[in-house]
């Protein structure tokens, strides 16, 4: 199914500008059905397509997905090879549709140790869609939040050493500008599937004030209904960013 061109949900509740998803549960989905892990990952790619369509349909401006962590290299070599193959297939099969529908693709994560048949595909995906103005789809690939923070600190330290930055003037924005996600707003909502309740080294800096929603479903079962369920939970919460709720402030004043 092609990606929709514009919002068609008719939702009137508060919608997050940026949704990030930890896509968890492919292996368990396959195991529960007596299928090889490959089938779980393959179905997971289909769920990615549904998530992109849902984000566009519900007027989300930024969608970030955790596709492959820097720790995933510890998995069996045949599974890693399979995941690389699925990534290549996704880019080759879906990039034209994404571009046609105005989706801008960004890739965050370490690229220095990637195979020569992977790195050019990532560059192609970003280059082809760079000028698009629809949904920004950020793919966290070979990504780890701690490593991202270390690299940002290293860049900042280098700039201080070389006289480009005054160490006494460093602020939060100076650090954020050196993260992989520079130019993107922090996520408003982070969704994790499979029922696990942790961030698993994903967007550790950026998640400071994100709302977290943990869904009990496994990733291959993720669909529009699951997306709406997370959006509804988000809309029901009051985001204060460390401030006092307005109602509490009024009561205190009285």
Helix extents (H) in the chain:
26-32, 37-57, 77-100, 119-129, 145-161, 172-176, 224-235, 246-253
List residues bridging with 118 in a β-sheet. none
**33 pLDDT band (50/70/90 cuts)?**
very high
In a domain, 211, yes or no: yes
Q: Which of 7, 26, 59, 72 is catalytic?
A: 72
**What percent of the chain shows pLDDT beyond 70?**
89
pLDDT at 80: 85
In a domain, 1, yes or no: no
Residue labelled with tokens 């069996």: 76
pLDDT > 70? residue 24:
yes
In a domain, 153, yes or no: yes
Q: How many independent structural domains does the chain possess?
A: 1
- Residue range 55-64: average pLDDT? 98
* Residue 24 designated active-site: yes
Residues 6 or more apart in contact with residue 183 via CB below 8 angstroms: none
Residue labelled with tokens 């480009």: 164
In a domain, 157, yes or no: yes
In our burial notation (b when 16+ CB lie closer than 10 A, e otherwise), range 86-98 reads bbeebbeebbeeb
In a domain, 3, yes or no: no
**115 pLDDT band (50/70/90 cuts)?**
confident
pLDDT > 80? residue 243:
no
In a domain, 128, yes or no: yes
Helices (H), strands (E): how many in the chain?
A: 8, 6
pLDDT at 162: 97
Rounded mean pLDDT of the chain? 90
In a domain, 170, yes or no: yes
pLDDT > 70? residue 4:
no
Q: Give the residue numbers spanning the domain of 232.
A: 18-253
Q: Which of 24, 94, 180, 221 is catalytic?
A: 24
pLDDT > 50? residue 69:
yes
The larger pLDDT score, comparing residue 93 to residue 35, is at 35
The larger pLDDT score, comparing residue 250 to residue 82, is at 82
* Residue 142 designated active-site: no
- Whole-structure pTM value: 0.89
- Using an 8 Å Cβ cutoff, are 34 and 28 in contact? no
- The domain that holds 79 is classified in CATH as 3.40.1180.10
pLDDT at 247: 57
pLDDT at 59: 96
In a domain, 204, yes or no: yes
């Amino acid at each position: 199914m092609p990606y929709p061109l514009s919002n068609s949900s008719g939702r009137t509740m508060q919608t997050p500008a940026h949704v990030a998803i930890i896509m968890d549960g492919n292996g368990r989905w396959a195991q529960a059905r007596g299928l090889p892990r490959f089938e779980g990952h393959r179905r997971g790619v289909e769920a990615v397509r549904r998530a992109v369509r849902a984000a566009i349909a519900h007027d989300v401006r930024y969608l970030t997905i955790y596709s492959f962590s820097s720790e995933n290299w510890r998995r069996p070599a045949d599974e890693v090879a399979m995941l690389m193959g699925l990534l290549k297939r996704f880019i080759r099969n879906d990039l034209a549709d994404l571009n046609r529908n105005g989706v801008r693709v960004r890739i965050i994560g370490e690229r220095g140790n990637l195979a020569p048949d992977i790195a050019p595909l990532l560059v192609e995906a970003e280059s082809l869609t760079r000028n698009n103005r629809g949904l920004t789809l950020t793919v966290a690939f070979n990504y780890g939040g701690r490593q991202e923070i270390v690299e940002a600190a290293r860049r900042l330290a280098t700039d201080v050493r070389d006289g480009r930055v005054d160490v006494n003037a460093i602020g939060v924005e100076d650090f954020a500008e050196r993260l992989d996600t520079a130019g993107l707003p922090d996520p408003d909502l982070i969704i994790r599937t499979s029922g696990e309740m942790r961030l698993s080294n994903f967007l550790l800096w950026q998640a400071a004030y994100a709302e977290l929603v943990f869904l009990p479903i496994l990733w291959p079962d993720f669909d529009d209904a699951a997306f709406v369920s997370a959006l509804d939970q988000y809309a029901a919460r009051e985001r204060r960013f460390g401030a006092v709720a307005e109602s509490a402030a009024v009561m205190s004043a009285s």
